[in-house]
Amino acid sequence: MHRTPRPWRRRLDMAFATHCLVRCLSSSAARHAAIKHITVIGGGLMGAGIAQVAATTGHTVVLVDTSEDILKKSTQGIEGSLKRVAKKKFADKPEAAAEFLQKVLKNISTNTDASSAVRSTDLVVEAIVENLKVKQSLFSSLDKAAPEHTIFASNTSSLPITDIASATTRLDRFGGLHFFNPVPMMKLVEVVRTSQTSQMAFDALTDFTKALGKHPVSCMDTPGFLVNRLLVPYMMEAIRLHERGHGSKEDIDMAMKLGAGYPMGPFELLDYVGLDTSKFIIDGWHAMEPENPLFAPSPMLNKLVAEGKLGKKTGEGFYKHKKTL
């Protein structure tokens, strides 16, 4: 049998070992590369909340929206929220409260040009309107501007992450980060992976979530992920019970609060979430799976939305409220 001469064998062994070491160190560095700089697209309630939490935990944040007026309102909202946090955290230490406020606000800058804002970022979190084409258009343009290592994430609560990611060339660096409102208060974040999200990207998103002081739960890219997949059909079934005359909204709400220990009944929750939001979600799911009875639309819900009765934000939904819009 022919054997490789010993000197050549040693060289081959050393080359192979060096190659393995480089690969190991490279993958290890990538795996442990912390997300430090994030860009949040969307200065609404969710986007501002995400920016606030990230800045509070020491991340450098760029908050992006289409106009300076929107961003001014966003930063004012963040400042107001931080003042409330500081007042509670440093009740008897006004100087410490002021220092905390300035330190956090120093971590936040704003920009109306999304493409320029992502040129040196580690993570992009999108929190704009729940419209697939709009999200795809945004990510398509950002994909051309962001560095190769940048991970993309959507805060969508109902659209498939896979469909949003399809507009980009970084399918392995794309996932979901579904925060809950109000972001500074709610601990849960659904970390969503598609069939093409790499383990490295998923781990980075999970580690980032933990760095924010949140509790991540792993989700696959299915309708509603975990929370909304259970919550929305539950609320829709409550409406159907009422539509069939099997219970008043007041009795159904009371039954779930006293019998199941829920803090809100389904109709109270629908009004809080917004009837238009619930209708948008269920209509989207129904379009994807028209044969699924859990996703069937509701005539009563459709009627209320058509009448502009959207819940607490408009002053009336299933109940009457003090108008907030």
Binding-site positions for CoA read 81, 88, 157
Handedness of CA 256, 261, 262, 264 (dihedral sign): positive
Known binding-site residues for NAD(+) equal 42-47, 65, 130, 135, 157, 181, 313
74 belongs to the catalytic site: no
* Two structure tokens written together for 299: 């005539």
Strands (E), 56-143: 60-64, 108-111, 123-126
286 belongs to the catalytic site: no
Axis-axis angle for helices 266-273, 249-259 (nearest 10):
100
Residue 73: Cβ-neighbour burial (10 angstroms; 0-12, 13-18, 19+): middle
321 belongs to the catalytic site: no
Determine which one of 74, 155, 158, 228 is catalytic. Answer: 228
* Two structure tokens written together for 55: 């800045």
111 belongs to the catalytic site: no
HSE toward the beta carbon, residue 98, CA cutoff 13 A: 3
Q: What is the layout of strands, in order, in the sheet containing 188-193? A: 108-111, 60-64, 37-41, 123-126, 151-154, 174-179, 188-193, 215-220
Known binding-site residues equal 42-47, 65, 81, 88, 130, 135, 157, 181, 313
Q: How many C-beta atoms surround the C-beta of residue 192 within 10 A?
A: 27
Per-residue buried b or exposed e for 195-225, using 16+ beta carbons within 10 Å of the residue's own CB: ebbbebbbebbbbbbeebebebbebebebbb
What are φ and ψ of residue 316, in 5° steps? -155, 140
Determine which one of 126, 155, 158, 178 is catalytic. Answer: 178
Rounded to whole angstroms, the Cα distance separating 234 from 227 reads 11
State the Cα torsion 169-172-178-179 to the nearest 10°: -100
Determine which one of 154, 157, 278, 298 is catalytic. Answer: 157
Determine which one of 126, 190, 268, 316 is catalytic. Answer: 190
Instruction: List residues with catalytic annotation.
Output: 157, 178, 190, 228
